[in-house]
Every structure is written in C-alpha cells, then in structure tokens.
A and B are shown apart, each in its own frame.
Chain A
Amino acid sequence: MRPDPLDATFAALADPTRRAILARLASGEASVTELAKPFAMSQPAISKHLKVLERAGLISGGREAQRRPRRIEGEALAVATGWLERYREVWEGNFQRLDTLLEELKANEAKRGDKKRKGDKK
C-alpha cells in the first residue's frame, strides 16, 4: 500500500534541516553541494534529506547525481498547507470578532465605572 501522500509531506516537513532546505530552494534551484554549504553536514547526509523531500513530492530534479539542480515543487506543499490556511482563516475571523466584542465590553465597563464614580460623589 502506498503511504498517504499527506503523511509523507508532513513527515518531511517535521525536520528543521529539511525545512531549511525548502526555504533555500524557495529562492531558486540549487545543487547538492550548494545545499550542503550552510549545514554542518556531509553531502551524503544532505542527499538523504533530499530523498525524503523528493519522496514527499516537495522537490524534484534529483535523479541524476550531485550536479543536477533541485527544484521546489509547490503543489505538494500547497496541499499540506491548504487546510492550515483554512483553519487559520476561520480562527483569525473568530478572534477578530472577539477583539471587537472585547473593545465594546471595555467601553461599557468604562461607562459604568464613570456612572458609579459619579454616583459615589452624590
């Protein structure tokens, strides 16, 4: 049975080195040598990470040796982040309405506070 593609995507994204590789590839193609440079890691170690990213469909281009540049594949990442976007939208909407409500509650309290203070003076 083929693993669920979204599982592979999230498993691939769970590693900080692989996220850093994706971030680097987001700004353009790069070879394994170039990708290995910022990390204190051997090229074979980097190649291993690249394989995981490839299997998840997050990058492409790595079939031949070291020199072939790797490219980011937006579609798999978009699927993985699509629901997150929706979830975020829903809750940002909820919380913006809550912000408005809290402002109103604060204003009401301030008003009541004024009245109370005025009342106290009498």
Chain B
Amino acid sequence: MTNIGLLEITTPSDREIAMRRVFDASARLVFDAWTKPELIKRWLGVRAGWTMEVCEVDLKVGGKYRFVWRSPDMTMGMGGAYREIVPPVRLVSTEKFDEAWYDGEALDTIELVERDGKTTVTTTVRYVSREVRDAVIKSGAASGVAESYDKLAELLPSLT
C-alpha cells in the first residue's frame, strides 16, 4: 500500500513525535535530498518568504551540520551532529534550535524503506523527556501528541 503524499503524524512513545510519508523516488535520491546542502536548501523550511542562508553539512559520524533561515524580518537557526549515517536507509543526528526554549538536544532518526521505486520515510524526533516534548508541542513550533492525528482530523470538519 503506497499513499504518496499522505502525511502521518503519530507519537510512538511519550518522548517522541514521528512522521511518515511516501515519496515517488528511490531511497538514494531521497537520502541525497536530505543530506546534500545544494538539495536541502531547495525544500527544507523554505516556505514563501524564507530562504536558507546557511546550509553546512559535514556528513560523517561526529560531523556537524548548521542551518540558518532568513525571512524579511527574522532569522532562525539550528544545528547538531551526525550520529549514524547508513546511506540510503538511515540517518541519525542531534538537533537543537538556537532559540530553543526547551532543555537538551533532540535526537532525529530518519529511516528510508524503498519498495517498487517508492520510498517510505519515517522521521522520529526524540526529546529528553515527556515534559520537553509536550513543551515543544505546546509552543506550536514543532510537533504533536495524541495517538493519531487522523482520528482527530476526522472530528475537525464537523466543528468548523
């Protein structure tokens, strides 16, 4: 079953937030898009009005990455270090926003599974504690709780 384009958001444990999405491309291309600066710059966080001003990637275990986005009236930066690099199936890195309002670094795990030319990407962000995850969620800036977003989504149309 491949639902290209359908984004699933779940909370697999009380410290984590996960997203799953199928892309119509090989794992190799998706992995490249996630790890090569010239490609990252083209899609990650560059919504209307924003550009990626800094995109540095030292793709080796222990190597650092640094991203800075700019809009006409503000900048936002984040960075971390790579912990595991297994192209094109797995990438683990730490993550910290410059203006993090929460404790500690988060751990990002990206897993790619290719089947029939399509690639399912699961990204999981693990925070240091449930309290931190919930604080992030409440900030509205970065992510979700509740067992299944889809169940909530079903409720929404009838409320508007």
Inter-chain contact A83/B155, CB cutoff 8 Å: no
Q: How far is the CB of A35 from chain B (nearest CB, A)?
A: 15
Inter-chain contact B44/A22, CB cutoff 8 Å: no
A109 CA to B32 CA, complexed, in Å: 13
Inter-chain contact B154/A23, CB cutoff 8 Å: yes
- The A-B contact count (CB < 8 A) is 105
Interface of A is mostly: helix
Q: Which residue of B lies closest to A75 (CB)?
A: B159
Total contacting residues, chain A, CB less than 8 A: 41
For the side of the interface on B, what is the size category? 35 or more
Inter-chain contact A10/B145, CB cutoff 8 Å: yes
A95 CA to B139 CA, complexed, in Å: 22
Inter-chain contact B29/A87, CB cutoff 8 Å: no
Among B20-28, B60-68, B77-85, B102-110, the one that faces the other chain is B20-28
> Is residue B147 contacting chain A, with contact meaning CB distance below 8 A?
yes
A-facing mask of B22-49, CB < 8 A → 1, else 0?
0111000110110000010011111100
Determine which of B5, B45, B156 lies in contact with A81 in the assembled complex, contact meaning CB atoms within 8 Å: B156
Inter-chain contact B43/A101, CB cutoff 8 Å: yes
Q: How far is the CB of B71 from chain A (nearest CB, A)?
A: 14
- Having A23-B151, A26-B155, A100-B43, one finds 8 other A-B pairs with CB under 8 Å, namely A10-B134, A80-B146, A86-B140, A91-B21, A98-B23, A98-B33, A105-B32, A106-B29
